[in-house]
Amino acid sequence: MSTIAPFQALRPDPQFASQIASKPYDVLNSHEAREEAADNPYSFLHVTKSEIDLPPNIDIHSQEVYNKAKENLQSFIEKGLLLEEDNPCYYIYRLVMNGRSQTGLVCCSSVDDYEKGIIKKHELTRPDKEADRIHHMQTIRAQTGNVFLAYNSVGAIDDVIEGWKRDHAPVYDFVAGDGIGHTVWVVDDKGTIAAITSLFATEVPFTYIADGHHRAASAAKVRKALGKEASGAADYFLTTLFPSDQLQIMDYNRLVHDLNGSSVEEFTDLLQKEFFVGKVEKAFQPQRLHEFGLYVDGGWYKLVAKEGTFSTDPIGILDVTILQKNILDKLLAIKDPRTDKRIDFVGGIRGLQELERRVDSGEMKAAFSLYPVSIQQLFDIADSGEVMPPKSTWFEPKLRDGLLTHLI
């Protein structure tokens, strides 16, 4: 069963919350982060992407960058922008995007649960990304990045959370510049905290990492690295738990630099061995499993996988697997999408227009649009112990960094 704990969050003075709250560090590159924070000295990007306060040619993985993050975090605390909670609390975090809302519980989850597989994974991690978060956490002694966990919905938990939202005023409530609403409630009643802890311990056998595999893996390795220096806080890591029935996964699309020596006509001919291929008049967003869009030379094609191109096991049935096996690997010789420089990935939040833009600019040769993975597919794969192909899921809306930080 799931072990969670309340914590004393480092969080903004309410008057500064909307200015401090920033997009997650891993959805922006350094240039985008500089632009995002250019006119906002309170942006938490000064902590999570601290290279923006150093020369543009800085190595973003240098110790100087991590030291700057620590300096900036301490400055925020000294100026009273960030305050530490007096007592351990839970936090309720509601996100609203395009009229759809989802509400999660911000808490600390057990590193032991992660290592024992009670917190289930579905992706491999990259050592370079782990190393970055490990150095960041160790230097600033805080977890700033939230791990997004999902669990099978439990009515009793929903009732407690909805009751608290109904009966208490939020501490933060604002709409960010991208139109996404962020509302946070502090759960500071000891009885309610105990009830929530007990419900997860008795009613939630497993949680599933939806987004944040690198942050979770890094937290476990930081605890080990700290050894005797580790406080009890290092036994836990910052998470937000969402019931599965409130979540939506968006498509995660692919772009390729070339067609592996084939012309467009040759490539579409090759596709017809494994797919039904037809030209369409406008951007094609797949509406069901095993449909794909292809954008190349200014035009869109609809692809439908033929029988025999996929299996019924949890991994084989995924459209990302079908694409990888039958097109990227077989036709384009892209064997490992985690390391091959000829492929790139675009989250569905950016729209099909972003695929068209990057192909039309000449930066990429072709793009593929996919039907999104479902929550149940994610759970099935994690339960089977299998690993999804990289960049299979894109969750929106995303939690903001800086609203709730876990000190270790």
In a domain, 352, yes or no: yes
Global pTM reads 0.88
In a domain, 364, yes or no: yes
Residues 166 and 296 in one domain: no
Residues 53 and 152 in one domain: yes
Contacts 24+ apart (CB under 8 A), 363-366: 364/255, 364/256, 364/257, 365/256, 365/257, 365/258, 365/259, 365/296, 366/255, 366/256, 366/259, 366/267, 366/294, 366/295, 366/296
Dist CA 233 CA 215 (whole Å): 15
In a domain, 16, yes or no: yes
pLDDT tens for 255-284 read 999 999 999 999 999 999 999 999 999 999
Q: Are the C-beta atoms of 122 and 378 separated by less than 8 Å?
A: yes
pLDDT (tens, 9 = 90+) of the chain, 408 residues, equals 999 999 999 999 999 999 999 999 988 999 999 999 999 999 999 999 999 999 999 999 999 999 999 999 999 999 999 999 999 999 999 999 999 999 999 999 999 999 999 999 988 888 888 999 999 999 999 999 999 999 999 999 999 999 999 999 999 999 999 999 999 999 999 999 999 999 999 999 999 999 899 999 999 999 998 877 766 889 999 999 999 999 989 999 999 999 999 999 999 999 999 999 999 999 999 999 999 999 999 999 999 999 988 888 888 899 999 999 999 999 999 999 888 999 999 988 889 999 999 999 999 999 999 999 999 999 999 998 888 887 888 888 999 999 999 999
Residues 216 and 276 in one domain: no
Residues 11 and 141 in one domain: yes
Residue 230 is predicted with a pLDDT of 67
Give Cα 137 to chain centroid, integer Å: 18
Residues 203 and 329 in one domain: no
In a domain, 220, yes or no: yes
Residue 393 is predicted with a pLDDT of 86
Dist CA 71 CA 333 (whole Å): 46
Q: Are the C-beta atoms of 368 and 254 separated by less than 8 Å?
A: yes
Which residues is 105 bridged to in the sheet? 92, 241
Token readout for 341 is: 């420089």
pLDDT tens for 64-112 read 999 999 999 999 999 999 999 999 999 999 999 999 999 999 999 999 9
In a domain, 221, yes or no: yes
Q: What is the 3-state secondary structure (H, E, C) of the chain?
A: CCCEECECCEEECHHHHHHHCECCHHHCCHHHHHHHHCCCCCCCHHHHCHHHHCCCCCCCCCHHHHHHHHHHHHHHHHCCCEEECCCCEEEEEEEEECCEEEEEEEEEEEHHHHHHCCEECCCCCCHHHHHHHHHHHHHHCEECCCEEEEECCCHHHHHHHHHHHHHCCCCEEEECCCCCEEEEEEECCHHHHHHHHHHHHHHCCCEEEEECHHHHHHHHHHHHHHHHHCCHHHHEEEEEEEEHHHCCEECEEEEECCCCCCCHHHHHHHHCCCEEEEEECCCCCCCCCCEEEEEECCEEEEEEECCCCCCCCCCCCCHHHHHHHHHHHCCCCCCCCCCCCCEEEEEHHHHHHHHHHHHHCCCCCEEEEECCCCHHHHHHHHHHCCCCCCCCCEECCCCCECCCEEEC
Residues 74 and 214 in one domain: yes
The Cβ-side half-sphere exposure at 50, using a 13 Å CA radius, reads 24
Q: How far is CA 245 from CA 105, 138, 155, 314, in A?
A: 14, 35, 11, 20
Residue 342 is predicted with a pLDDT of 96
In a domain, 391, yes or no: no
Residues 261 and 197 in one domain: no
CATH code assigned at 306: 3.30.1760
Which residues is 255 bridged to in the sheet? 344, 367
Give Cα 406 to chain centroid, integer Å: 18
Residues 155 and 59 in one domain: yes
Kind of pairing between the strands at 207-211 and 147-151: antiparallel
Q: How far is CA 236 from CA 4, 303, 375, in A?
A: 8, 45, 25
Q: How far is CA 56 from CA 22, 29, 345, in A?
A: 20, 12, 25
In a domain, 376, yes or no: no
Burial class (CB in 10 A: 0-12, 13-18, 19+), 386: middle
Residues 25 and 171 in one domain: yes
Count of structural domains, the chain: 2
Domain span at 360: 252-371
Residues 142 and 13 in one domain: yes
Residues 117 and 223 in one domain: yes
Q: How far is CA 324 from CA 61, 266, 335, in A?
A: 31, 19, 8
Residues 242 and 260 in one domain: no
In a domain, 386, yes or no: no
